[in-house]
């Protein structure tokens, strides 16, 4: 049977106290301490057919820190996914804390291989050892849940027997080493110790800002040329002229924003680089790139004498935009898709085809241009004001991996 997990309530106290007494988990509060943890909403229980078979006790030493004090499952229910369900429940609740820059951690006996395997399988890394107890004789392993992808050096990994506490402490002394997996060495459990590559965040951010400036500068040059061409031609549609003028203005603003991001990086005062770059990226794409691409088939439709060729051009542009919107390269891919954002993306993608069809049919192009400008403005507003800073592409992958 699948276990269900929930937050313990005061009515669960007898079952929780009995389970804690049965499990006798090191570091787990008992008696009055456990009762207070239940009242504070810090205990999670797992149930199978109404029977409490597992518990996890949390601590909140700081507003941005969730610590797993203990987790345990009754003997008859182990290795059936109960502990995994409990830990998954805890991590799902703590996702908001981690998104805001917080930490989820656990301190455990290195010899507890069952707990180590559970933590490592759910994205925790053993980052350092701690000396606790009288005289600092007791060695504990500090686990931290990782939310950011990091890369290990494939040539700098070694195994340390779990029983060799001193070697484990020496291996984790450098701050770029961590426990990444459990293994078997000569029939005994061992930790895999990996060395992580260290990137220079300031250099990476500087490169990102410079790439944004160079890209927007190229787009601005193309838009400026097209705007000049539009004023030199008496056959150029006014609605497309307006679209290009707005795109030129917004792209110029994105350049200013990118320059501000570079200045923010140089000062390193308010940690606002990600938020500023989000503005530059959104303005560059929805105010510059997409209007520029959408204007090309409309312009061609106004000036070409071949109706079929203009329709094919518009369909090709729409298909290309649709593929781009759903690719991992688009700005939209960095945010959660909703029915509204999907509908606006569809309007953006279909705009070139709809425009050339209306022009080929002898109808004015300004209605489709107006719809496109409205859709782009709505998308920019959603990503700028209704969503947080970009957090990268949401891909299900290990939080550590070998760079390819």
- Local confidence band at 277 (pLDDT 50, 70, 90 cut-offs): confident
| Percentage of residues in the chain having pLDDT higher than 70 | 91
Secondary structure letter of residue 386 according to DSSP: S
CA distance 10 to 41: 9
User: Can you spell out the DSSP letters for 168-179?
Assistant: HHHHT-STTEEE
Residue 397 pLDDT > 50: no
Helices 273-284 and 201-232: crossing angle in degrees, nearest 10, is: 20
Helices 238-267 and 290-303: crossing angle in degrees, nearest 10, is: 160
Neighbours of 225 (CB within 10 A): 10
Residues 12-43 pLDDT 10s: 999 999 999 998 888 888 888 999 999 999 99
Average pLDDT over residues 239-253: 90
Q: What is the pLDDT of residue 399?
A: 63
Q: What is the pLDDT of residue 132?
A: 83
Residue 315 pLDDT > 70: yes
Q: Which of 131, 150, 142 is nearest to 103 (CA)?
A: 142
Q: Which of 290, 307, 393 is nearest to 344 (CA)?
A: 290
Residue 199 pLDDT > 80: no
User: Quick check: helix, strand or coil at residue 48?
Assistant: strand
CA distance 144 to 106: 7
Question: Which range (199-203, 266-270, 272-276) has the least confidence?
Answer: 266-270
For the chain, what is the mean pLDDT?
A: 86
- Local confidence band at 394 (pLDDT 50, 70, 90 cut-offs): very low
Phi, psi of 330 (to 5 degrees): -80, 155
User: Quick check: helix, strand or coil at residue 262?
Assistant: helix
Neighbours of 396 (CB within 10 A): 4
**What residue spans define the domains of the chain?**
4-196, 201-385
Per-residue CA distances from 316 to 288, 296, 350, 352, 361 (Å)? 20, 12, 10, 9, 18
Residues 40-90 pLDDT 10s: 999 999 999 889 999 999 999 998 999 999 999 999 888 889 999 999 999
Pairing of strands 43-48, 177-185: unpaired
Residues 122-171 pLDDT 10s: 999 999 999 887 777 789 999 999 887 778 888 889 999 999 999 999 99
Average pLDDT over residues 389-395: 44
Q: What is the pLDDT of residue 403?
A: 61
Q: What is the pLDDT of residue 360?
A: 78
Q: What is the pLDDT of residue 107?
A: 94
Residue 181 pLDDT > 80: yes
Cα angle: 222, vertex 228, 232; to 5 degrees? 140
User: Quick check: helix, strand or coil at residue 95?
Assistant: helix
Q: Give the pair of three-digit tokens for residue 304.
A: 């070409």
Q: What is the pLDDT of residue 267?
A: 56
Q: Give the pair of three-digit tokens for residue 4.
A: 């269900």
Residue 1 pLDDT > 90: no
CA dihedral over 107, 111, 115, 121, signed as positive or negative:
positive
- Local confidence band at 392 (pLDDT 50, 70, 90 cut-offs): very low
Of 361 and 183, more confident: 183
Q: What is the pLDDT of residue 264?
A: 63
Cα angle: 228, vertex 229, 230; to 5 degrees? 90
The residue behind tokens 């501000």 is 260
* Fold entry, domain 4-196: Aminopeptidase (3.40.630)
């Amino acid at each position: 049977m699948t276990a269900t997990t929930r937050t313990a309530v005061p009515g669960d106290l007898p079952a929780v106290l009995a389970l804690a007494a049965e499990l006798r988990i090191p570091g787990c509060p008992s008696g009055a301490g456990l009762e207070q943890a239940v009242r504070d909403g810090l205990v999670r229980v797992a149930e199978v057919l109404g029977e409490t078979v597992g518990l996890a006790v949390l601590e909140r030493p700081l507003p941005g820190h969730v610590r797993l004090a203990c987790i345990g499952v009754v003997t008859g229910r182990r290795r059936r996914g109960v502990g995994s369900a409990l830990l998954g429940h805890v991590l799902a609740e703590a996702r908001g804390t981690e998104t805001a820059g917080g930490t989820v951690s656990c301190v455990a006996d290195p010899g507890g291989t069952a707990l180590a395997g559970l933590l490592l399988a759910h994205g925790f890394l053993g980052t350092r050892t701690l000396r606790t107890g009288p005289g600092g004789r007791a060695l504990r392993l500090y686990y931290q849940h990782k939310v950011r992808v990091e890369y290990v050096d494939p040539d700098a990994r070694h195994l340390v027997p779990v029983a060799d506490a001193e070697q484990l402490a020496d291996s984790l002394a450098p701050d770029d080493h961590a426990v990444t997996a459990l293994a078997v060495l000569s029939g005994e459990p061992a930790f895999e110790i990996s060395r992580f590559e260290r990137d220079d965040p300031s250099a990476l951010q500087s490169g990102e800002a410079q790439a944004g400036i160079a890209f927007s500068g190229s787009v601005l040059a193309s838009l400026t040329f097209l705007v000049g061409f539009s004023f030199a031609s008496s056959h150029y549609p006014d609605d497309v002229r307006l679209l290009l003028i707005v795109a030129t203005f917004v792209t110029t603003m994105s350049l200013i924003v990118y320059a501000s991001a570079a200045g923010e990086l140089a000062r390193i005062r308010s940690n606002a680089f990600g938020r500023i770059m989000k503005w530059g990226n959104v303005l560059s794409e929805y105010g510059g790139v997409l209007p520029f691409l959408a204007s090309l088939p409309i312009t061609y439709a106004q000036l070409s004498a071949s109706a079929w060729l203009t329709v094919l051009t518009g369909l090709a542009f729409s298909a290309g935009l649709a593929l781009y919107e759903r690719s991992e390269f688009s700005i939209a891919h960095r945010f959660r898709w909703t029915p509204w954002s999907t509908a606006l993306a569809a309007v953006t993608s279909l705009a070139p085809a709809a425009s050339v069809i209306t022009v080929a049919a002898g109808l004015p192009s300004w209605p489709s241009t107006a719809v496109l400008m409205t859709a782009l403005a709505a998308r920019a507003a959603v990503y700028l004001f209704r969503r947080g800073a970009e957090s990268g592409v949401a891909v299900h992958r290990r939080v550590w991996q070998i760079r390819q």
